[in-house]
Amino acid sequence: MKRLPSFYALVLFLATIGIAQPPKLVVLISLDLFPYDYIERFQPYFGENGFNYLLKNGASFTNARYEHAYLKTAPDHASLVTGVYSHLHGITANHWYDRKKKQTVNCVDDETVMMLGSTGMGRSPRNLKLTTVGDMLRLRTGNQSKVVGISSKDRSAILMAGKTGTAYWIEDSVVVTSTYYMKSLPPYISAFNRSGIFEQYFGQTWTEVNPLAAAKLCDTDDAWYESGGPGLGRTFPHRIIGNDFTRITPSYYGALDGSPFSAEILLALGRSIFAAESLGTRGVTDMFCIGISTPDIIGHSFGPNSHEVFDDVLRTDSLLASFFSFLDTHVGLDNCIIALSSDHGIAPIPEYIKKTSPATDAGRITADEVSTIANRVLSNRFRARSSIPRWVEKVIDCDIYLNAGFIDSLHVPIDSAMHVLRDSLRTIHPFAAAYSRDQVARARMLDTLGKKVALSYYALRSGDVMFILKPFYVTGSEGTNHGQPYDYDTHVPLIMTGRGIKPGVYANNVSPIDIAPTLSYILKIAFPPNREGNVLMEALK
Ligand SMILES: [Zn+2]
């Protein structure tokens, strides 16, 4: 009996000197399309317990930037959990052109597995070339740790869950997964799908949380260059109906997906998974990755200066607050590490720039226009006799895939075609730079933008010629886009809070690829292989 007091004294002593117990739960929150600028501009309108909880209790890095060229959802979610860029993890884009199959493929397509909860091509992390921080955690604990990724997008959930975790994502009105992860949907997921949660928003109205602040901060609500979003219209109030106000049609789910209500559903799914899987309460560290896609859909359609983006950020702030409160009740925030970041920012809508700053050069170019330019350049140079110039097989984002068969039939060496196109694009508006794949493979010789392209490059998946647009130019015919190595796309929040983190504001230059090695260090597990990111030592106790 005498030993009891000394045992408690030892526990008290260890607690006092700060011998760290491993955290019970790591929560990685990725806000899809969320430039750091949103935090700067909108913080005065946040509540106490959402972003401000993280900013006050955590380490906030005010200069976190991606260093690669092509900022897209899939490559950057892979980077968040592997700690490296596309040239090592292999996920170069959301879609790339498969030269053998002669078709565009989704980065998480997997013909060897089947969908659970829907039909169509199976999905898995098969194309991800490296293990993630979550995989390393499971390796260390003999698969005792659970690693779960959820999102409204397949790529975000799948890539964050890594090779050995479990991913669930939302397709229209159904939470789905694939046979890569399990044989059938768990009963609690099927129950979630049957609960009516996807239908309960039909006819509801998305109104502004803080219209006075929006009027002060944002562009006019009815800007003609907003693309409006699927079934939503351009101005508040947005009624969530779709194209038939009498009944639910597929277009309703499109409208729901483009509204803040879809993030409410995602976090409700998060709570269901939490309860069913007992995350963070099983005596071993678990990891929960949440990819909130709503800001991406709204940001593309309405642009970063819109009423809709401001309102969605305020609603996201409230959603985070209630989720943190849920975590506190079930696991205790002191037992968690929360890391929040984003996959990319967003360019202002070019027409908005032209309106507010007529002297600034801004604009857009579509994939078809790039293809037309490339065909013209190569036809002129090589005087092709073919009546239909088919030099280009495909343009996806900033990757141009040449038509090797056609070029060969004209007896033109493919290298010559690549080089001519590359050198010509460099002189044509609105291209800022262009590189051929042989050049990118010799990364040492490249200039600053070329080195960024090299970090995005993976031989079997990238184009033959890759370009970068001039600042304030975007790809696509409407709304706005991301995918260029400029500050509005690369600069994102990086905030970590919880056990072992030293609160503060850190202005040194860091990158979201530092999150994976920093989590590994805190968890005392091996880094994911081929680490490029650094441990954020300055923010550790
Ligand atoms: Zn996007």
Domain boundaries, the chain: 24-348+487-539, 363-471
How many A from CA of 303 to the centre of ligand 1?
11
For the stretch 42-85, pLDDT in tens is 999 999 999 999 999 999 999 999 999 999 999 999 999 999 99
The answer to whether 399 and 412 are in contact (CB under 8 A) is: no
Question: Cα–Cα distance between 530 and 404 in angstroms, integer?
Answer: 33
Q: Are strands 166-171 and 121-123 parallel, antiparallel or unpaired?
A: unpaired
Q: What's the gap in Å between 33 CA and the centre of ligand 1?
A: 6
Query: How many Cα neighbours within 13 Å face the side chain of 31?
Result: 29
pLDDT of residue 71: 97
CA distance 507 to 254: 40
487/37 Cα distance (integer angstroms) = 10
CB atoms within 10 A of CB 514: 24
**How many Å apart are CA 254 and CA 131, to the nearest integer?**
34
Q: Is the pLDDT of residue 376 over 90?
A: yes
Cα separation, 392 vs 373, in Å, equals 10
- Going by their DSSP bridges, the two strands 238-239 and 205-206 should be labelled as antiparallel
pLDDT category of residue 442 using cuts at 50, 70 and 90: confident
What separation in Å is there between the alpha carbon of 373 and the centre of ligand 1? 25
Specify the pLDDT at position 17.
Answer: 41
- pLDDT value, residue 386: 65
> CA-to-CA distance for 239 and 233, rounded, in angstroms?
9
The pairing of beta strand 25-31 with beta strand 286-292: parallel
| pLDDT in the model for residue 21 | 81
pLDDT per residue over 208-247, tens digit each?
999 999 999 999 999 999 987 777 889 999 999 988 889 9
pLDDT tens digits, 338-374: 999 999 999 999 999 999 999 999 999 999 999 999 9
Residue type, 11: V
Average pLDDT over residues 378-385: 84
> Does residue 444 register a pLDDT over 80?
no
Ligand 1 being an ion, which residues bring their Cβ within 5 A of it? 296
Asked if 57 and 324 touch (Cβ cutoff 8 Å), the reply is no
**Which residues lie across from 121 on neighbouring strands?**
114
Q: 295 CA distance to ligand 1 centroid (A)?
A: 9
Mean pLDDT of the 432-446 span: 88
> Which DSSP category does 398 fall into?
T
Q: 154 CA to middle of ligand 1, Å?
A: 13
Yes or no: say if 231 and 258 are a contact pair by the CB < 8 Å rule.
Answer: yes
6: confidence class by pLDDT, cuts 50, 70, 90: low
Q: How confident is the model at residue 534 (pLDDT cuts 50, 70, 90)?
A: very high
Q: Which regions of 317-464 does DSSP assign to beta strands (E)?
A: 336-342, 363-365, 392-396, 399-402, 431-436
For 24-348+487-539, the fitting CATH number among 3.30.1780.10, 3.40.720.10, 3.90.1150.10, 3.30.420.340 is 3.40.720.10
Cβ atoms of 280 and 330 closer than 8 Å: yes
What are the phi and psi torsion angles at 393 (to 5°)?
A: -90, -35
Ligand 1 centroid, distance to 103 Cα (angstroms): 22
The rounded distance, in Å, linking the Cα atoms of 149 and 139 is: 17
Check if the beta carbon of residue 43 is closer than 8 Å to that of residue 54. Answer: no
**485 C-alpha to ligand 1 centroid (Å):** 14
The model's pLDDT over 13-41, given as tens digits with 9 standing for 90+, comes to: 444 444 468 899 999 999 999 999 999 99
How many angstroms does the Cα of residue 423 sit away from the middle of ligand 1? 29
Longest dimension (CA), the chain: 98
pLDDT at 462 over 90: yes
Distance 94 CA to ligand 1 centre (A): 10
Residue 12 has pLDDT above 60, yes or no: no
How much distance in Å is there from the Cα of 302 to the middle of ligand 1?
12
Say if residues 503 and 59 touch (Cβ distance below 8 Å): yes
Q: Say whether 363-471 and 24-348+487-539 share the same fold.
A: no
Angle at CA of residue 530, ends 528 and 534, nearest 5°: 75
Reported confidence tier of residue 385, pLDDT bands at 50, 70, 90? low
CA 518, CA 59: separation in Å to the nearest integer? 12
Q: Ligand 1 center to residue 34 CA distance, Å?
A: 10
Ligand 1 centroid – CA 294 distance (Å): 10
| pTM of the model as a whole | 0.93
Cα(139)–Cα(286) distance, rounded to whole angstroms?
A: 12
Residue 478 CA to ligand 1 center (angstroms) comes to 13
State the average pLDDT over residues 177-187.
98
State what percent of residues in the chain have pLDDT above 70: 95
Ligand 1 centroid to residue 344 C-alpha, Å: 8
Average pLDDT score over residue span 132-151 = 98
Angle at 50 between CA 48 and CA 56, to 5 degrees: 65
β-strand partners of 123: 109
For the ranges 186-195, 248-257, 510-519, the lowest mean pLDDT is seen at 248-257
Q: Could you tell me if 67 and 199 are in contact, meaning their C-beta atoms sit under 8 angstroms apart?
A: no
Measured distance CA(1)–CA(244) in Å, rounded: 74
Q: How far is the CA of 523 from the centre of ligand 1 (A)?
A: 31
DSSP 387: S
Distance of CA 466 from the midpoint of ligand 1 (Å) = 19
CB of 29 closer than 8 Å to CB of 292: yes
Question: How much distance in Å is there from the Cα of 149 to the middle of ligand 1?
Answer: 19
Span 281-300, mean pLDDT? 97
426-433 average pLDDT score: 95
The tokens for 317 are 């702030």
**Which residues are within 8 A (CB) of 405 and not within 5 positions of it... i.e. 6 or more apart?**
none
Which has the closest alpha carbon to 182: 122, 251, 95?
122
Q: What is the mean pLDDT of residues 139-166?
A: 98
Q: Report CA(481)–ligand 1 centroid distance (Å).
A: 7
In three-state secondary structure terms, 529 is: coil
Residue 71: name the closest of 450, 488, 496 by CA. Answer: 488
Q: How many Å lie between the centroid of ligand 1 and the Cα of residue 291?
A: 13
CATH match of 363-471 with 3.30.1360.150: yes
- Find the 148 Cα to ligand 1 centroid distance in Å: 23
In the 8-state DSSP scheme, what is residue 67? -
Residue-level pLDDT at 9: 54
What residues contact 274, with CB distance under 8 A and at least 6 apart? 280, 288, 326, 330
C-alpha 250 chain-centroid distance: 25
pLDDT at site 519? 97
CA of 314 to the centre of ligand 1 (A): 19
Please give the Cα distance from 337 to 361 (Å, whole number). 43
